[in-house]
Structure 1
Amino acid sequence: MFSYRHAFHAGSHADVLKHLTLIATLRHLMQKPTPLTMVDTHAGAGLYRLDGDYAQTSGEAAGGILRLAGLRQPAGANTLNDALADYLEVIDAFNTEGKDWRIYPGSPFVIHHMMNQAERSSVRDRLKLFELHPTDSKTLEANIAQLEAGRQITVTVQDGFEGLKTLLPPPPALGGSRRALVLMDPSYEIKTDYAKVQAAMQDALRRFPTGVYLVWYPIIARPEAHDLPRRLKTMATQAERPWLHATLSVGAPEADGSEEHGSPERRGLTSSGMFVINPPHSLKPVLEAALPQLLKTLGMGSGKGWQVEAQRS
């Protein structure tokens, strides 16, 4: 169960969709000056080298974040969607030593970056990270230690599905308000992860129905993958909670003979989705504006497309 390493996939088109959605959600939630408890149930190593062996082996960043690097240039700045520009600025903040992007922040560092911005740094937000992989958890602990964030961030070597139960409902802030955001993006390397996601979301909604829950999942030829969003829709509807479902498919590149030589860009995941329970009302129009521009850059061929659907309670 520990064969999966996110370092192979860091900066892929799936990461782009996940983090674009995460940042847009947090931007809205952080407009309110009350603390947030944020939980990443499968935190990974936290930071990734795009010029390292793992990323170079898979080549997935080349079909994801690195294709977006050109959008930072002045020629495209005036037409760049606000949410996409925001996302690229976050990535840029981790690559201050040169023009080329060599570092990709995982979700823990994306969240901390937003917690640590000037307009938010005085708010006592909390970030809870879970990672079970023996190597990635050690790397995560070392990376987080460099932030010197103290008790603001905690790393627990535990199954995030189980660990989440101890954090909901979140402790009340001054004035009694309770707010929480949970990101759940397991590897899905074993098919039981799909059932675990469903069970964890069911339990989370029972414990804290007003939390904001983000679930990433791969769109692959497996019945469990296609059933998951449908089951989450049913669950949210029965709980009378609003939901949003966004998908991004970059498509399959046209065959040109290089596939037989093992070109990394011709293997692996081509589609993924984000399911959000209790999404901010602003999220749907934000994604509807950003995803077409994203697809224009990342789309590779037949089957490419995007979709955003939502239902209010």
Structure 2
Amino acid sequence: MNYRHAFHAGNHADVLKHIVLLATCDALTAKPAPVFALDTHAGRGLYALDGNSAQRTGEAEGGIGRLLAEAPKHPLVARYLSAIRACRATHGQASYPGSPWLLAHALREDDRIATCELLPEEAAQLKSNFADEPRVAVHARDGYEAMKALLPPRIGTTRFNRGLVLIDPPYEAQLEEFDRIIGAIRDALTRWPQACYLVWYPIKRRRSLQPFFRRVATLPVKGALLAELMVHPDDSPLRMNGSGMVVLNPPWQLNQSIGGVLPALRDVLGEAGASSRIEWLAEPR
């Protein structure tokens, strides 16, 4: 696997993914019971947008750069930008937080986070970035295998009945990746059925995703919510036209808050022909 998220940090896909992630964390922490979060494809957790990798693609300028310059007035955007500013106050004005940093920022002292990264160099950097954070465990291993090993979560005498699993793979072989995602979630649901599962996916041609959506709808969950942000017209298989998040067992009213922010993100980050949508793949029950 050759994927490095440093080339894409802060792009439009990160904006969508991280806004949904923070909204989910805030909904979970609204109740006092402790929360466990598992990040299956964590990367290094913290990125420098003035580094060679990010500068080579310039993708952050069309994502977080544009949002900082023209922030729509929406509570979820404000929440996200507050986290960005908190990261930059600690790590410098060119920094951008990956999902492990955002989880550590959003969750509480008695919550726990497990992060997984398979690439040795990225895993070593992830461990270094969180060396002083006792709530965050770093595992240099395959994230899907970790779902089997770490769920249901129990740390010491604490059993975590509430939490989330973020699945954000590189999709180097997209159809095979969807097979692994469905299999891993179906297995995890037998052991931690009440957790919230968040799956990020890229969109080149949306119709190619229909088999994945049909399989998601068959999972034994209490609802499957889809949220998509297209920043380009859905007409080219050669680029990532947008991305989406599937949220299984979503917190109460997450659909309303996410549904409200998507058009604002579309208007700021999208070009002519951009679009957004939110819908239930499986109605809540």
Describe how 1:193-272 pairs up with structure 2 within 5 A. 193-221=177-205, 225-235=209-219, 239-252=220-233, 268-272=239-243
User: Tell me, what secondary structure is at the counterpart of 2:88?
Assistant: coil
Describe how 1:35-114 pairs up with structure 2 within 5 A. 35-71=34-70, 80-96=73-89, 101-114=93-106
| Matched residue type, 2:267 | K
Tell me, yes or no, if the aligned pair for 2:152 and 2:160 is still in contact at 8 Å: no
User: Tell me, what secondary structure is at the counterpart of 1:142?
Assistant: helix
For 2:142 and 2:28, the matched residues in 1 are separated by 27
5+ long unaligned stretches in structure 1: 254-266
TM-aligned CA deviation for residue 180 of structure 1? 2.1
State the TM-score, normalized to the length of structure 2.
0.91
| Matched residue type, 1:308 | I
Tell me, yes or no, if the aligned pair for 1:249 and 1:306 is still in contact at 8 Å: yes
TM-aligned CA deviation for residue 217 of structure 1? 0.6
For 1:222 and 1:32, the matched residues in 2 are separated by 36
Tell me, yes or no, if the aligned pair for 2:200 and 2:246 is still in contact at 8 Å: yes
CA shift in 2, pair 1:162/1:224, >3 Å: farther
Describe how 1:254-293 pairs up with structure 2 within 5 A. 268-293=239-264
TM-aligned CA deviation for residue 173 of structure 1? 9.3
| Matched residue type, 1:250 | V
For 1:207 and 1:53, the matched residues in 2 are separated by 42
The equivalent of 1:138 in structure 2 is 124
CA shift in 2, pair 1:167/1:287, >3 Å: same
TM-aligned CA deviation for residue 222 of structure 1? 8.5
TM-aligned CA deviation for residue 277 of structure 1? 0.5
| Number of equivalent positions | 279
TM-aligned CA deviation for residue 172 of structure 1? 8.1
For residues 132-163 of structure 1, the C-alpha deviation after alignment (integer angstroms, 9 at most, x for no partner) is 01211111111111xx122x211011000001
State the TM-score, normalized to the length of structure 1.
0.83
User: Tell me, what secondary structure is at the counterpart of 1:154?
Assistant: strand
For 1:88 and 1:165, the matched residues in 2 are separated by 34
User: Tell me, what secondary structure is at the counterpart of 1:57?
Assistant: helix
For 1:104 and 1:28, the matched residues in 2 are separated by 23
TM-aligned CA deviation for residue 226 of structure 1? 3.9
CA shift in 2, pair 1:240/1:186, >3 Å: closer
For 1:225 and 1:194, the matched residues in 2 are separated by 9
CA shift in 2, pair 1:14/1:193, >3 Å: same
TM-aligned CA deviation for residue 49 of structure 1? 0.8
CA shift in 2, pair 1:173/1:241, >3 Å: farther
The equivalent of 2:271 in structure 1 is 300
Tell me, yes or no, if the aligned pair for 1:194 and 1:224 is still in contact at 8 Å: no
Please identify the structure whose Cα radius of gyration is greater. 1
CA shift in 2, pair 1:149/1:250, >3 Å: same
Give the % identical residues: 42
For 2:164 and 2:116, the matched residues in 1 are separated by 14
| Matched residue type, 1:96 | A
RMSD over aligned Cα, in angstroms?
2.3
